[in-house]
Amino acid sequence: MRRSVVGSWVALVFVLAVALALRLYGLNWDGGQWIHPDERMILMVVSNRLSIPTAEQVPLLLTPQSPLNPAFHAYGSFPLYLLKAVQLLVGNAVPLHIPARLLSVAFDCGTVLLAYALAASLAGAWWGVLAALLVAVSPIHVQLVHYYTVDTILAFWAALGAYFALRLAATGRLRWALAVGAVAGLAMATKLIGAAVVLFAALALAARLLAGGRWSWRGALRAAGWCAAAGGVAVAVFVLADPYAVIDAWAFWGEAGNQALMARGDPRFPYTLQFYYTLPYLYPLWQNLTRGWGIGAGLLAWGGLVWATVRAGLRIRRPDGWAVLAAWALAFFLVVGGWHAKFPRYLLPMMPLLCVLAAGMLANVGHRWRARGLWVALAAITAILIAATGAYAVGLLGIFGQEHSWVRMSRWMYANVPRLAAVATEYWDMALPLPLTVEGRHHDRGDFRLTELSLYDADTPEKWAELAETLAATDYYIVASQRVYGPVGLLRELYPTTSRFYALLFQERLGFRLVHWEGTDMQVLGVRIVENPFARAGLPVPEAVVRTWQEGRALLLPGGDESWTVYDRPLVMVFRNEGRLSAAELQAALMPAEP
């Protein structure tokens, strides 16, 4: 027995080492350019808005004018205050994005340990190691820890709330209900959807009340009181960790309303147009299976949820810890998976729980198969599925280990685009080039005459009369990623002329020739894997890009979510105006006369 315990601890240390290696490699992937938009906003708020109050500012602390008010409520204030504290500790010797991403790594490795603790408490230490391994090699975890956004922190709180909930279900002690409430408060102060963590308390108390025939009105009233106490603690901790949600309530709830509109698909948020025509539940499930885990461990994880849900249904009068985890994960998916905005990272809080459920499913199947002499077959199947996901996660390291494609393109532009050339970029995408020091000389966008085109505006004759004039006077046109042409090509009934513009541009029929492009692709077991950004938009692939894909024998994957590639490996293209069509000729090509 002791040898088994020691062995499981050694294995857990190995899993944690794997998790750290996958998460720490390439942490400075963007060269300090702060390319991820959410991370950039957080870093800017921490750097420029938050400050230690002076003696003169102390009277302002309980007002919206306080120097401690981030005045940014898309996310909670806890991650901002935490990063500010770290910044004050380390000073300016290290660029802010490095300690920020190290915090993300620390929280995610904590989630790996919590997955172990959850599965070990329910199935045994070695199954805990398996659950931890599934989290450790999850590609979406590996990707997201390379940014300082709130998702990895929120996933940690969900896993910690689940652990306290299992203690509550096992012991029935009030302190565990209050602990769940405290974690829920911190989760809410990370992101408002974190309020869902408090549901763990209700599920755990319901499981304890129903298990073993313990039901009574007295017990039900006590459980309700403890749930209320957990909710009260959650609110109190939330106010302490995010005080300006109350002090600056007007701004907070205004932003909360905006986030709700965004989640429902309000067209005023361009970055959610990509989710039109996507199916609720099926789209996030498919993205999670094919990219979030890669087909492999994802089959185990979602299979674990199915197993635990069916098991809970069959044991409705005898719920246990597995039922608590499954009920929370299923409820979370039913709510979040039905939103219009289906960013894959939205499912991150439930993913560690699915890993735990997968371990439970395998433990259950292993018990049955061992009696039939099929234990080796189960171990082989499991190893193959985990190895497939692990290979996909390792493939991501090739992305983070290379210079970002926007940095490479910026370097090319400074070397090849004439100074003060007229350069057009696209609104809502990165305005290249990035500021760089090349051969000892600093370069920035001031080297060129930049114009930003508002292609998301409604298609009207006035829009294209103005854009045609601008394009005619443009020397170079930059397509930094699929952020604009992806949704525009998808929504052709809304953007008939703009989608035609992209089709003709990519076919080099508007006088613009593709002179350079940069992209970074994954390599998995020697196979080059390319996320084809043109496929879902139904737009033609530029000939030079197709030729490179064919020469490299790339495996093309269509239909990937934009956020899986656009931050760390966008395909960026530069078109040079060689045809010099007039504005009238451009309009004639884009808006042909009706027959």
Q: Where are the domains of the chain?
A: 2-399, 405-590
pTM value? 0.94
Tens digits of residue pLDDT in 108-154: 999 999 999 999 999 999 999 999 999 999 999 999 999 999 999 99
User: Which pLDDT does position 464 carry in this prediction?
Assistant: 92
Query: Distance between CA 409 and CA 494 in Å, rounded?
Result: 31
More confident residue, 343 or 4: 343
> In this model, does residue 90 exceed pLDDT 50?
yes
Provide mean pLDDT across the span 6-33: 93
Predicted confidence band of residue 582 (pLDDT cuts 50, 70, 90): very high
Backbone phi and psi for residue 148, each to the nearest 5 degrees, phi listed first: -100, 80
Query: What letter does residue 281 receive in the DSSP assignment?
Result: T
Query: Distance between CA 503 and CA 481 in Å, rounded?
Result: 15
> In this model, does residue 278 exceed pLDDT 50?
yes
Q: Which two tokens stand for residue 449?
A: 């005459």
The dihedral over CA atoms of 245, 250, 255, 260, expressed in degrees to the nearest 10, equals 100
Predicted confidence band of residue 266 (pLDDT cuts 50, 70, 90): confident
Q: Which two tokens stand for residue 255?
A: 């932003």
Provide mean pLDDT across the span 226-250: 95
> In this model, does residue 572 exceed pLDDT 70?
yes
Query: What letter does residue 565 receive in the DSSP assignment?
Result: T
Tens digits of residue pLDDT in 440-456: 899 999 999 999 999 99
